């Protein structure tokens, strides 16, 4: 769905090393690593769970994010793997995207079918996926990185990039990404499952303040 290709170890040894280190800290098998050919800084995780998973990172993320930020977003995806979010997440997105794609037959009937299928697919997505999973993945990522600031800084960068870089994909894929890369209008507004990014950043910064106070 996102045109990712598996990334050989020889092509990105440092990236593989980072994923392996984070996976070891999380107590899971190292996920396969994929590259998404897109300028938008994005990552995602998919698969069946801690023993069989894959993490994908976009070329834009590799190019734009400093090491600490890249580690933060990769840790966020590995946290989803550790928490077993990805099996439900992947199945939900495939189901919702399939419903949307099934409406693409052209003409006035396409708009009618989309009017019906879009809200149904979105309702299924919200029924199965809770925004709380993002807060929990953020907290675990901060633990894996031993600092919340890499991920917090990355979320700021990704949010700013969304305003500058165009991104085209099925809006049903929104739960896969580390933040919502779509403009919240039209069909895309129905599928928003991420909590507000400002709230996520605030909670991450507070983790450091809490540790210092302790």
- Which are the catalytic amino acids? 77
Q: For 75, what's the count of Cα atoms within 13 Å in the CB-facing half-sphere?
A: 28
Please report, for residues 49, 115, 130, the alpha-carbon distance to residue 125 in angstroms, rounded to integers and kept in the order given.
19, 16, 9
Strands 5-6 and 43-49: unpaired
Q: Alpha-carbon distance 76 to 78, whole Å?
A: 5
Q: Alpha-carbon distance 143 to 118, whole Å?
A: 37
């Amino acid at each position: 769905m996102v045109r990712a290709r598996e990334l050989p170890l020889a092509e990105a040894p440092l990236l593989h090393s980072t994923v392996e280190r984070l996976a070891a800290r999380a107590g899971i098998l190292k996920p396969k690593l994929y590259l998404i050919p897109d300028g938008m800084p994005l990552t995602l995780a998919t698969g069946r769970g801690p023993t069989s998973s894959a993490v994908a990172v976009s070329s834009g993320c590799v190019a734009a994010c400093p090491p600490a930020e890249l580690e933060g977003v990769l840790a966020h995806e590995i946290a989803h793997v550790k928490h077993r979010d990805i099996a439900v997440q992947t199945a939900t997105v495939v189901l919702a995207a399939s419903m949307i794609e099934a409406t693409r037959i052209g003409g006035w009937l396409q708009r009618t079918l989309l009017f019906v299928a879009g809200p149904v697919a979105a309702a299924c997505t919200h029924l199965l996926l809770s925004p709380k999973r993002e807060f929990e993945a953020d907290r675990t990522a901060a633990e894996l990185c031993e600092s919340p600031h890499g991920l917090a800084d990355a979320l700021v960068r990704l949010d700013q990039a969304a305003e500058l870089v165009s991104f085209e994909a099925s809006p049903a894929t929104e739960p896969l990404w580390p933040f919502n890369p779509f403009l919240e209008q039209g069909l895309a507004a129905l599928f928003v499952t991420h909590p507000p990014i400002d709230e996520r950043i605030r909670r991450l910064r507070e983790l450091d303040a809490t540790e210092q106070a302790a």
